Amino acid sequence: MPIPSQLEPGGVELQDEILADGNVSREEFTRTIAGMAECMTAHGATGVTWSVDDYERASWSMGHDSPSADIHETTYPLCYYSYVDRVMHALVESHRRDIDIIESP
């Protein structure tokens, strides 16, 4: 999925705020997914649904009933990279470190 040249300032600011302390809580992760859903709706997606399926595995899902190809090609990448991408990577890395600590002798 190509990274858009312009991102939503509100999403970038949200990610900056969440990542400032180096930790991503369940509530913060949920805020990023909710922000992405709001972004999708603001850009024309209809029937947007979302859930955080498993915080421990950084698993989430999102759906919509918009028939437009633009939603998949333009809006989804815009909203994902604006609201979720960096937080998702930080969460996955944090969980990876936690697993390494648990598994270390």
Give the model confidence (pLDDT) of 34-90 as tens digits.
Answer: 999 999 999 988 889 999 888 777 778 888 887 777 777 888 999 999 999 999 999
Give the residue with greater pLDDT, 55 vs 28.
28
Per-residue pLDDT, 95? 66
37-57 exposure pattern, b = at least 16 Cβ within 10 A, e = fewer? bbbbbebebeebebebeebee
> Encoding tokens for residue 1?
């999925």
Give the residue with greater pLDDT, 21 vs 105.
21
> Using alpha carbons only, how large is the chain's radius of gyration in Å?
15
Helix (H) or strand (E) holding 104, with range, is: none
pTM over 0.85? The answer is: no
> In a 10 Å sphere around its CB, with 0-12 CB exposed, 13-18 middle and 19+ buried, how is residue 94 labelled?
middle
Q: How far apart are CA 32 and CA 34, in angstroms?
A: 5
Domain extent listing, the chain: 9-103
First to last CA, the chain: 39
User: Residue 28 — very low, low, confident or very high, per pLDDT cuts 50/70/90?
Assistant: very high
* Range 89-103 average pLDDT: 69
Q: How far apart are CA 50 and CA 53, in angstroms?
A: 9
Q: Is the pLDDT of residue 10 over 90?
A: yes
